[in-house]
Structure 1
Amino acid sequence: MTRMVRICIQSLLKLVNSFLAMFGMGMILYGIWMIRAWHRQIHDSDYPAPWFIYTMLGLGVTFCVITCSGHIAAETANGCCLYCYLVFVVFLLMLEGAVTMDVFLNRNWEEDFPKDPRGNFNEFKDFIKENFDMCKWVGLSIVSLQGLCTVFALVLKGLGPHRERYYDSDEEYTLDEVPLLRNYQPAYVVGAPVYGTR
């Protein structure tokens, strides 16, 4: 029974990680699209791309790396892999929570971010304000999926090691394999040597 539950949790963890990987690939594609739009806008000038484009690309790559480690952790169900995966996911959740709290609680949150001399960050803010409902649901979906990944990884870790030995009945094993299950009588007797008659 435990084996079936473990297989089900492994499959669910892989499925949720696949959705997170799709979000990561979407962020990477959006970052590449923004770089192309940036280069079309500035033509031949040597201005560097704005910081938020690189942030979008970095977050996309981070999501993809974390989901790859999640697939490896789900497949092996190894304690070390699951712990590393959990550390990555929890760290990312804490980072997302810190940025969200800074934006919502700090009235001067724009001062915390680097300056954008070309004003493209204002265009990005305007896009988010115009499409706030969609951005809100995408953000909530990402955080919910990360929470599900954390729960599934904890349950998978709680189910124990990959290999198990079930002792349903004592008759399935020889006495040499499990000597403490019965009164074990050794195959030899220690004592005075027995001599035959002459």
Structure 2
Amino acid sequence: MLAHYFDIIRSIFFLASAMLFVVTHPVQARQTGEPELTLETLSQPPKNPQLPLGTLLDNNGQPIHIPNQRQSALEYSTPTVSLAETQKSQTNAPSKKTKSKKLNRKQQLTSRAQVANDPNCRWLDKRMQQLEALSSSKQNKPAQYQLDELSARQKEWQCLKCGAEGPNQNDYSRCQYRRETITR
């Protein structure tokens, strides 16, 4: 019951404050020098001069000049190369073309020149690159577990045929690297 009275008192307070604001608002407008908005003042055109269509103003109210012609903001010209320089560079290039031997099947499987279009093969390639970089770094000697993992990944690479056509569906489970566990 008491809460009900507080709700009524609160709503009466809000109504009274809203009425007070409405009554005092036109008085504040007259005090600040702003004209009171009435139906007559709204129907009259504003006293500011009309801007021509397509005119933009900056933050100070000044018109911004917009160029009629389009132009790029970046002017760049390519460097000129004389014909004599290009002929010299072509004559210095070795004219011998080396034929690449076609790799046999075993070499193709172990080679990492090409990577099969398979996510496991791409991951294996990146992982072996990391392990090779760790083993070839001159700062510290690679740990034995890194070398063991590298050899296991190389076997997995061959088994999955990542250097050639890529793995078949049943190759994934057959070639997956499994760690040896010691049971007591």
| TM-score relative to the length of structure 1 | 0.25
Higher helix share: 1
Q: Whose radius of gyration is greater, 1 or 2?
A: 2
